[in-house]
Amino acid sequence: MSTVLDSIIAGVLEDVNARKIPLPKLLDQISMAPKVRDGYAALAAPGMQIIAEVKRSSPSKGALATISDPAQLASRYESAGAAVISVLTEGRRFGGSSADLVEVRGAVNIPILRKDFTVTEYQVYETRALGADLILLIVAALSDSQLRDYQALSREIGLSVLVEVHNEEELARAMDIDAGIIGVNARNLKTLEIHEEAFSKLLPLITGERIRVAESGISTRAQVLSAEKAGAKAILVGETLVRAGDPALAINTLLGR
């Protein structure tokens, strides 16, 4: 039976094929891309860090916010102390675009995470060419060889890698490739259901000097404290921030400032 994730990936592959350019041309774009900012170091800074997301819509909630100026929103996130800005570039389900990322990258001085469904080698190169500093690799969307190869390629071209997991089997696969940043997503991408217990169940199982990120469903200070207790070093928040009248206040509230 086809899942929501399967449907999203099918659309992503169609869109990648439609916009694809020859690799030599893409490599030329990479040579002209802005210098990489260290995403790992930004998240490793003392205290709980937040990855603040520019997100217009989602498959589970539909339209979330009208974001006419993503660069301005990202600047407000940066001013409020965000460590990293996440920019959705998937268009069909999330209303994002590569143009959003380029605009945001030019407006802030902190690292940018390209939030998309990376399922081809081409997208790894494309992520760097767009000026992103971090890339998302979703374990559920990739084979073991893809996961290993895409992480190695990402690191080779200077990108920090956020490896996303949803269960113990996926977490084992992430640790097998020695992922340095592991995100536990409380939302099951196959059903879109939120399972808050994922944080308390999976974050403590992440071993070594890895950065642990709690993703999805976070809207209260109590949830942040719970994730931190489980071992989270950072949280990724989108919906709560884009729906807030004052995103800076929302960030400060979540971080207890």
The residues assigned a catalytic role are: 53, 55, 115, 164, 185, 215-216
- The identity of residue 82, as a single letter, is A
Tokens of 120: 């081809």
Start-end of H helices in the chain: 4-19, 23-31, 39-44, 70-79, 98-107, 121-129, 144-156, 168-176, 197-202, 221-230, 239-242, 247-254
- Please choose, from the candidates 118, 110, 121, 116, the residue with its C-alpha nearest in 3D space to the C-alpha of residue 84: 110
Provide CB contacts within 8 A for 171, sequence distance 6+: 165, 182, 184, 202, 205, 206
- Return d(Cα 240, Cα 235) in angstroms, integer: 12
Q: Which residue has the tokens 């992520």?
A: 127
For 4, 79, 104, 111, 236, the CA distances from 43, given in Å and listed in that order, are 30, 16, 19, 10, 11
Nearest Cα residue to 55 out of 108, 97, 16: 97
| Residue 182, token pair as written in the block | 């592991």
Is the separation of the CB atoms in 136 and 128 below 8 Å?
no
Distance CA 111, CA 99 (A): 16
